């Protein structure tokens, strides 16, 4: 596993030797022991200017950090009810015809104050300034300040036990132990994002009904739907909505939203993201840790709550050699998917490495990462290297930003330079693939990891007709396999038989975001036109470029 830090051998000390290893925004919180009546949270710096640092319909965690607290009305009600013995004798009657909320506002000020303290942003002063480091610019000055991950030790958010679980991950991972994780961003697509914004709006109403300030709740193509989302982008200070028509969310995340390293008012920290779509893993090709999560987990992350996750095992996948001419990234990802499904990586991380990394474009890497749900891993991961930096420049990141990213990752041992000698890597398990062994494949007939060499496609199809019903069979009787159905389609004669193509679609974010694959499709279409071939009228063709950047490729 390519960890963001190296662990010192002096970690035996119980008081100061734990090393915090986590790719997320660093925040500090007071101890959450039972003796503490208030869980306080610190944010450096306390700011609400995340509008420029937020995601796609995507929300960064808020500057108001909530520690161990759920801001929905039900939990607020339970908190007040559980505190009733302290103040119910002061005049609140649960059976009174007067509104309970009205009674709370007039008689429960200590409870409300305690509730407000739970969600208040604390002062910017903290006890860890001495471990802040400045990141120098090559020409003088500095990019900003950051926490040196090897020096960071905060047992109030992440306990010594949590850190030791990660340090000893080879032993801990098989035991299915849990660790906390705080992502830097949350990525929501419009379908799953609407319920999340509804919940946040409801929380604001509950806070206002309790007499507090609703502005404290910020997340960290239907006209009505997008009007609501547009309202959300103005109501919540750290939420950015990407308008419809911009492209597939994961490609937009890769080209525009992914930061790799955040620079928030001079404070540097690694980018990480969870999203409400399983293909959020596409961002891992950029060297940003990201994967899919449920709606409740995403909402909790937006409000600053750490996610509880099982410490995963890490499979190392070594790539060598070079792809042959005519072999695409889709052929490669189908091969990788089949290998990983057979190996078994469900619930694990997969890290790709090898001297051939310089030959894999970032689009090819993103294609492999996009298929993480298909091969079962929580995420695949390509560490940041020179190819990543070139892509960042290509997609409009400034030279200064790219230099800052490289400097930050190098000083924290998170940058891979394949021109330098490589240390031996330790993983839970290992796989290896020579890229020259990959050949053109198709996938199917029913599952993406059932790959079939293109040369065997005809034979495999006929055997599937014969096989019993299953993933590789339809059980069509021999006498019916050559049956032809004739009909009229919009006044034109047409006929269909087993294997006829009726939908020809290039629409997924796996295929429409890779320029080489899209160019290949364009060349095939061009050659078909030259040969006088036409699309049958009953075939529905569909093409949806992954973003506004990919589409113009066809018109150049």
3-class DSSP state of 513: coil
Amino acid 6: pLDDT: 34
Digit-coded pLDDT (tens) for 293-316: 887 788 788 777 888 888 889 999
Q: What are phi and psi of 191, to 5 degrees?
A: -70, -50
Amino acid 110: pLDDT: 52
The residues spanned by each domain of the chain are 28-65+125-434, 73-119, 495-556
Q: CA-CA distance, 377 to 198, in Å (whole number)? A: 31
Q: What is the mean pLDDT of the chain?
A: 73
pLDDT, average across residues 14-35: 33
Q: CA-CA distance, 106 to 112, in Å (whole number)? A: 10
pLDDT, average across residues 221-243: 71
Quick check: 41 pLDDT over 50? no
CA pseudo-torsion sign 500, 338, 319, 509? positive
Amino acid 425: pLDDT: 87
Quick check: 331 pLDDT over 80? yes
- Identify which has the larger pLDDT, 245 or 104: 245
Amino acid 170: pLDDT: 66
Q: CA-CA distance, 40 to 28, in Å (whole number)? A: 9
CATH 1.25.40.10 given to domain 28-65+125-434? no
- Identify which has the larger pLDDT, 354 or 245: 354
Query: Across 11-20, 322-331, 507-516, which has the greatest mean pLDDT?
Result: 322-331
Digit-coded pLDDT (tens) for 70-97: 333 333 333 433 443 333 334 444 344 4
Q: CA-CA distance, 167 to 327, in Å (whole number)? A: 40
Total-model pTM: 0.64
3-class DSSP state of 262: strand
- 121 Cβ contact list (under 8 Å, min separation 6): 41, 43, 46, 63, 64, 65
């Amino acid at each position: 596993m390519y960890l963001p830090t190296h662990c010192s051998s002096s970690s035996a000390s119980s008081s100061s030797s734990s090393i915090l290893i986590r790719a997320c925004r660093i925040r500090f919180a007071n101890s959450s022991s039972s003796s503490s009546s208030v869980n306080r949270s610190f944010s450096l710096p306390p700011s609400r200017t995340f509008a420029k640092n937020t995601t796609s319909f995507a929300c960064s965690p808020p500057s108001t950090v909530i520690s161990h607290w759920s801001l929905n009305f039900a939990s607020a009600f339970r908190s007040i009810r559980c505190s009733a013995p302290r103040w119910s004798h002061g005049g609140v009657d649960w059976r009174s015809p007067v509104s309970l909320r009205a009674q709370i506002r007039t008689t429960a000020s200590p409870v409300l104050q305690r509730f407000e303290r739970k969600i208040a942003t604390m002062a910017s002063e903290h006890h860890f300034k001495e471990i802040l480091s400045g990141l120098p610019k090559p020409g003088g000055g500095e990019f900003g300040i950051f926490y040196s991950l090897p020096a960071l030790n905060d047992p109030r958010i992440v306990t010594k036990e949590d850190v030791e679980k990660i340090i000893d991950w080879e032993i801990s991972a098989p035991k299915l132990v849990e660790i906390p994780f705080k992502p830097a961003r949350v990525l929501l697509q419009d379908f799953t994002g609407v319920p999340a914004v509804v919940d946040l709006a409801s929380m604001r109403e509950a806070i206002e009904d309790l007499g507090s300030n609703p502005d404290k709740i910020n997340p960290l193509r239907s006209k009505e739907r997008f009007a609501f989302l547009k309202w959300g982008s103005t109501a919540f200070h750290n939420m950015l909505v990407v308008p419809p028509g911009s492209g597939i969310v994961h490609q937009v995340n890769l080209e525009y939203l992914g930061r790799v390293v955040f620079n928030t008012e001079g404070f540097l920290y690694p980018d990480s993201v969870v999203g409400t779509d399983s293909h959020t893993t596409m961002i891992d090709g950029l060297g940003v840790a990201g994967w899919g999560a449920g709606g409740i987990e995403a909402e909790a992350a937006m409000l600053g709550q750490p996610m509880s996750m099982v410490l995963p095992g890490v499979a190392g996948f070594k790539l060598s050699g070079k792809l042959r001419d005519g072999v695409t990234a889709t052929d490669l990802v189908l091969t990788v998917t089949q290998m990983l499904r057979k190996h078994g990586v469900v619930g694990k991380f997969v890290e790709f490495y090898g001297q051939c990394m310089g030959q894999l474009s970032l689009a090819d890497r993103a294609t492999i990462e996009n298929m993480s749900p298909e091969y079962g891993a929580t995420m695949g991961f390509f560490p940041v290297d020179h190819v990543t930096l070139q892509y960042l420049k290509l997609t409009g990141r400034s030279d200064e930003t790219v230099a800052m990213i490289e400097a930050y990752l190098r000083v924290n041992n998170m940058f891979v330079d394949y021109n330098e000698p490589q240390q031996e890597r330790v993983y839970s398990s290992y796989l290896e693939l020579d890229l020259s062994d990959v050949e053109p494949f198709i996938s199917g007939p029913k599952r993406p990891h059932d790959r079939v060499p293109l040369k065997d496609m005809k034979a495999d199809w006929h055997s599937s007709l014969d096989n019993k019903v299953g993933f590789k069979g339809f059980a069509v009787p021999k006498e019916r396999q050559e049956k032809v159905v004739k009909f009229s389609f919009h006044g034109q004669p047409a006929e269909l038989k087993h294997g006829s193509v009726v939908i020809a679609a290039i629409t997924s974010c796996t295929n429409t975001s890779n320029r080489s694959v899209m160019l290949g499709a364009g060349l095939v279409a061009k050659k078909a036109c030259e040969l006088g071939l036409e699309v049958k009228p009953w075939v529905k063709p569909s093409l949806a470029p992954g973003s506004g950047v990919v589409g113009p490729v066809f018109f150049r």
